[in-house]
Chain A
Amino acid sequence: MADKVLMKGNEALAEAAILAGCRHYFGYPITPQTEVAEYMAKKMPKIGGVFLQAESEIAAINMVIGAAAAGKRVMTSSSSPGVALKSEGLSYLAGCDLPALIVNVQRGGPGLGGIQPGQADYFHATRGAGHGDFHMIVTAPATVQEMIDLVGKSFDLADKYRMPAMLLADGTIGQMMEPVTLTENTSAPIEKPWAVTGYDGSRPRNVVNSLFIQPEDLENLVMERYARYAKIEAEEQMAEEYMTEDADIILVAYGVAARVCRNAIKAAREKGLKVGLIRPITLWPFPKKVMSAAAEKAKAFISVELSMGQMIEDIELAIRCRRPVLLCNRTGGMIPTPAEVLAKIDEAAKIGG
């Protein structure tokens, strides 16, 4: 077992990417994720990797497309306004079936918003990351250790399913320091016979492309992609359950919001209220299975988020609206306090939770 070291979330994720074999990083500075670029600027030249500061996020994501097409493990990172700019590129990654890691250390929005933590890019990440029919694998870390673990996991899933994966973090997790264990990613690199590595006649020519003039061809491709998505939905859902066993009220929260919930649950339990937490680790695929199973016993759900009620829609869909789902939220860079969550738990208890 490797030693524990104290690391900042953003730096931990950068180191984790290197440990996962990523040697190509393209980015553009933006708070609160700039430490990723700064870390890569220091490390990559020392290990024969590539760090390049692009002139914009649009350029950065297109550099990612190029390196991914060449078969490399590649990533970019940014925060909300910058990730929005990458949208076009995200759609092209999906349309070209290219694996890559995109990190969004979210801040408050919309527009320039603020630089405090946010979760208001949930819809963008899980629904509207760009034009066209596509999904990205979206994971959400709640600890610095998970920043590390999900980086390796995201790279592997992206390669396995040939699609972009997004790590949807928030400013708190990016900026906070925690003791972590860094481990080498041991998964064997996946063959990428489709990569543009130079045509010498020994294999068919490789063309990385998202243009299909014949609608039948395009439809077939999208259908094929959605069959892959169905497999992912069946096999890759991830969530952590905390004190859900006997829970009447289930809190659902990811990232920093989940940390707040743990404190609220402790306080609620002391008052004799049976409250538990489901913490989605994959936001797409959304952990519908545990959510649906929990709805068999629980009487009410509360979506705790740093946004105006975005994830709540996925909870309602997952449980087919069989139970009431309340919203406990702050936005614009504000974080709900355990007391605010507790007040919402009391409200849920009153309506029969």
Chain B
Amino acid sequence: MAECIDELGIQSKTIGIASVGCSVFSYNYFNCDMVQAAHGRAPAVATGVKRADPSKIVFTYQGDGDLAAIGTAETVHSAARGENITVIFVNNAIYGMTGGQMAPTTLPGQVTQTSPYGRDVQTVGYPVKVCEMLSQVDGAAYLERVAVNNVKNLMAAKKAIKKAFQNQIDGKGFSLVEVLSACPTYWSMTPEKALERVASEMIPYYPLGVYKDKYAEEGTK
């Protein structure tokens, strides 16, 4: 992300919105102005910043609990409004910050602190597939799911993120990149095994690819 910001030469006008989760300290890691939002509310805060000064480049950096549980409404409605912001959505299928509870994206059968017998879809339902869901929202401009489990996928992820920023520069509206990533700590795996799990379990359930590209479909304006 930071490389994309540098390559696009937008650092001085970029405002980041940190969410609540392991991403909470992202304000320490991105060398740009940042706002720290309440849990789930980053897209609403981003909306405020963007509307206050549309010449700024505004992004959010959110985990799955933040974006797809407590912040679902903010996510869907910022997309529906076609808010001209860039959302980077880190899907690690777990609540990391609070110690490994079930996330909206936790896979069926996955054991977590609050699904100690494995996620039972009969009682707690199915994982939320954010890109698929948002592809039905007219206001969304660009939705792509990527992964960061190997170098090839990492390069593809960077390309998608860069496009999501470029879209905002071009005024194309709501862009979201879902990044499948590992949480070795709360998956209780070595980093190596965790990356393997991304390939063997995450990607089959959450297929990679472009879920929507409004302007590719319609031809660029």
Contacts and interface: CB of A to CB of B under 8 A. Distances in A.
A57 B114 CA distance: 16
Interface stretch (A24-32, A95-103, A116-124, A129-137): A24-32
B52 interface: no
A29 B98 contact: yes
A276 B159 CA distance: 68
Interface in A191-211: none
Interface residues of B, number: 24
A29 B20 CA distance: 12
Contact of B116 (A42, A55, A56, A57): A42
Interface of B: 20, 24, 36, 38-40, 65, 69-72, 95, 97-99, 101-102, 104, 113-117, 124
A34 B99 CA distance: 9
Given A42-B116, A112-B20, A34 B101 contact: yes
Nearest to A31: B98
A45 B114 CA distance: 12
Nearest to A54: B69
A41 B95 CA distance: 15
19 contacts: A28-B69, A28-B70, A29-B95, A30-B98, A38-B114, A38-B116, A41-B113, A41-B116, A45-B117, A51-B114, A52-B124, A53-B124, A55-B70, A55-B72, A56-B69, A58-B70, A81-B39, A112-B20, A112-B38
A34 B24 contact: no
Contacts of B99: 29, 31, 34
Contacts of B71: 56
A37 interface: yes
Nearest to B112: A41
B101 A53 contact: yes
A105 to B, nearest CB: 13
Contacts of A37: 101, 114
A296 to B, nearest CB: 47
Contacts of A112: 20, 24, 36, 38
Contacts of A30: 98
B188 to A, nearest CB: 15
Residue among A37, A38, A42, A45 with max Cβ neighbours from chain B (10 Å)? A38
A38 B40 contact: no
A194 B114 CA distance: 33
Contacts of A29: 65, 95, 98-99, 101, 114
A81 B102 CA distance: 20
Contacts of A52: 124
